[in-house]
Amino acid sequence: MSRLVAVSNRVGPIRGPGRAGGLAVALLEALKARGGLWFGWTGEISEGGEARLQYEQEGNITAATVDLSQIELDEYYNGFANRCLWPLFHFRTDLTTFNRRHYEGYRLVNRKLANLLSPLLKPDDHIWVHDYHLLPFAEALREHGASQAIGFFLHIPFPMTELLTTLPQHAQLMRGLFSYDLLGFQTEDDLLRFRDYVVRQAGGSISGDLCTAYGRTLVAKAYPIGIDTRELMKQAASAPVRRELLKMRDTLQGRTQIIGVDRLDYTKGLPQRFQSMLRLLEDYPDTQGRVELLQIAPTSRGELDEYTAIRKELESLAGHINGRFAQLDWTPIRYINRAVNRRALTALYRSSRIGLVTPMRDGMNLVAKEYVAAQDPADPGVLVLSQFAGAARQMQAALLVNPYDAVAVSEAIQTARHMPLEERQQRHQQLMKKLLAEDIAHWRESFLRDLNSSRPTN
């Protein structure tokens, strides 16, 4: 079997429990199943030193990583990836910074990484590149003569043509994408938006799964990312989680717990979620003293202003709502600004009657899937899910809401609170059917199978 070479902005850790961030967790699972090389940035900055690879080995996985300089980090990662592509691809042109220097830095880092990976490649490797940091990576590898099959998976949404064309370098980036053999998107909607650009903007054509433009043909399909459903179910029913649960139930004293778990990011709809809690407490006074939102949101990208601003906004909103409604023995919003370990997270999911997952826009959202898989099938909680999360496509049996509509979200919370056991079980069964069939192994195998047969004769 061909070796798998995975390429992503951040690598690892390849041993021990995964850290917060859907991509890291998902990718490690893919490499474990097949063995191979994981290549990318160490996550460290070094003072303008030579680009030198560092190696780490764990079982059948090798990690090869390199430091970035401060300038590279500022232009490539903080700059073009996170202040331009991230907001733009989440439809937030208002937060998008267009800066030519950042774009040049982004291309240079892609080239630097491709220069380093090239000599490590074997002729029959299959190369799987991840996410928006690395759009031009295949183009840079091909400049070194790479002829291997190269696939790309976009973890975030793909924007509509009208938004994408606000980016001055859109044509160059899209042309670069055509150096891949296979493009994977989270949902059919993302795929449709990509195809729209190919036809209307690039003057290309579509035939089945094949897209042709810029003189090249590639395969483009949707592969909704999943979770390790069986493993999570097993963990949720294990003795250590059951012990955690008992402790948590004691502290809850019969109150309904709503759980939110998100990286602290403006796409996740956290201020709007707190506003929905405010509506709930105002419109349904019986919730006071009886319902609480436990929001776990570790800081991410803390060095960017937009992220500092959202953190401040949340702290002030939580303070305002708690100041107004809290009682001596009850606080409506418990807001925890750090990551928690997997076992505690699983116990928190299972002890929460309602999972509140309300991003304004999200590629997929793994928390929604984790929440459902962690439930007790005999007495499951209810998922309230944003219609703008990619996961909504597969999770129609959740209570789907528009996160911009605080009234609708608070009504859905009420519906979830009072949902009869039988309906909760039915919805849970329907959701689980999908989560079991379309799990992380299914995602990985479908993508890799297609990558295997995707090298067309160009």
Residues acting as catalytic residues: 155, 362
Q: Give residue number: closest CB to ligand ADQ.
A: 22
The residues pairing with 207 across neighbouring beta strands, listed in sequence order, are: 210
CB-based contacts of 133: which residues, under 8 Å, 6+ apart? Answer: 8, 9, 76, 77, 81, 85
Q: Contact between 13 and ligand ADQ (CB under 6 A)?
A: no
Backbone angles phi, psi at 173, to 5 degrees: -65, -40
| CB neighbourhood size of 353 (10 A) | 21
How far, rounded to the nearest angstrom, does the alpha carbon of residue 440 sit from its chain's CA centroid? 13
Q: Which is nearer to ligand ADQ, 139 or 370 (CB)?
A: 370
Q: Contact between 363 and ligand ADQ (CB under 6 A)?
A: yes
Residue the block writes with tokens 């903080």: 78
How many chain residues bind ligand ADQ (CB under 6 A)? Answer: 24
Q: What is the CA radius of gyration of the chain?
A: 22
Q: Which is nearer to ligand ADQ, 19 or 449 (CB)?
A: 19
Nearest residue to 77 (alpha-carbon basis) of 300, 360, 311: 300
Burial 201-225 (b: 16+ CB within 10 A, else e): bbebeeeeeebbbbebbbbbbbbbb
- Which DSSP string do the residues of 10-26 spell out, in sequence order? E----SSSPPS-HHHHH
Q: Contact between 367 and ligand ADQ (CB under 6 A)?
A: yes
Pick the stretch among 77-85, 356-364, 378-386, 399-407 that binds ligand ADQ (CB under 6 A): 356-364
Q: Contact between 28 and ligand ADQ (CB under 6 A)?
A: no
Q: Which is nearer to ligand ADQ, 121 or 372 (CB)?
A: 372
Instruction: Provide the H-helix boundaries in 200-292.
Output: 229-236, 239-252, 270-283
Pick the stretch among 59-67, 252-260, 337-345, 448-456 that binds ligand ADQ (CB under 6 A): 337-345
Q: Shortest gap between Cβ of 307 and ligand ADQ (angstroms)?
A: 13
Burial of 381 (0-12, 13-18, 19+ CB in 10 A): buried
Say if strands 61-68 and 36-45 run parallel, antiparallel, or are unpaired: parallel
Q: Which is nearer to ligand ADQ, 278 or 367 (CB)?
A: 367
Q: Contact between 263 and ligand ADQ (CB under 6 A)?
A: yes
Q: Contact between 339 and ligand ADQ (CB under 6 A)?
A: yes
Q: Which of 75, 139, 370, 439 binds ligand ADQ (CB under 6 A)?
A: 370
Q: Contact between 23 and ligand ADQ (CB under 6 A)?
A: yes
Q: Contact between 25 and ligand ADQ (CB under 6 A)?
A: yes
Pick the stretch among 16-24, 77-85, 110-118, 207-215 that binds ligand ADQ (CB under 6 A): 16-24
Burial 48-72 (b: 16+ CB within 10 A, else e): eeeeeeeebebeebbbbbbbbbeeb
Q: Which of 3, 13, 20, 195 binds ligand ADQ (CB under 6 A)?
A: 20
**In residues, how long is the chain?**
458
Q: Which of 362, 411, 439, 450 binds ligand ADQ (CB under 6 A)?
A: 362
Q: Shortest gap between Cβ of 343 and ligand ADQ (angstroms)?
A: 11
Which residues from 144-203 bind ligand ADQ, rule CB under 6 A?
A: 155-156
Q: Shortest gap between Cβ of 264 and ligand ADQ (angstroms)?
A: 9
Q: Which is nearer to ligand ADQ, 37 or 366 (CB)?
A: 366
Q: Contact between 298 and ligand ADQ (CB under 6 A)?
A: yes
Distance (Å, whole) CA 312 – CA 304: 13
| CB neighbourhood size of 123 (10 A) | 8
Give 264's DSSP letter: B
Distance (Å, whole) CA 363 – CA 267: 10
Pick the stretch among 50-58, 103-111, 144-152, 359-367 that binds ligand ADQ (CB under 6 A): 359-367
Q: Which is nearer to ligand ADQ, 1 or 192 (CB)?
A: 192
Run of H or E residues at 450: helix 440-452
Q: Which of 68, 84, 296, 398 binds ligand ADQ (CB under 6 A)?
A: 296
Burial of 312 (0-12, 13-18, 19+ CB in 10 A): exposed
How far, rounded to the nearest angstrom, does the alpha carbon of residue 19 sit from its chain's CA centroid? 13
Q: Contact between 22 and ligand ADQ (CB under 6 A)?
A: yes
Which residues from 206-235 bind ligand ADQ, rule CB under 6 A?
A: 225
Q: Contact between 411 and ligand ADQ (CB under 6 A)?
A: no
Run of H or E residues at 206: strand 205-207
Pick the stretch among 187-195, 366-374, 410-418, 450-458 that binds ligand ADQ (CB under 6 A): 366-374
Q: Which is nearer to ligand ADQ, 340 or 441 (CB)?
A: 340
Contacts with ligand ADQ by CB under 6 A lie at 20-23, 25-26, 155-156, 225, 261-263, 296, 298, 339-340, 345, 362-367, 370
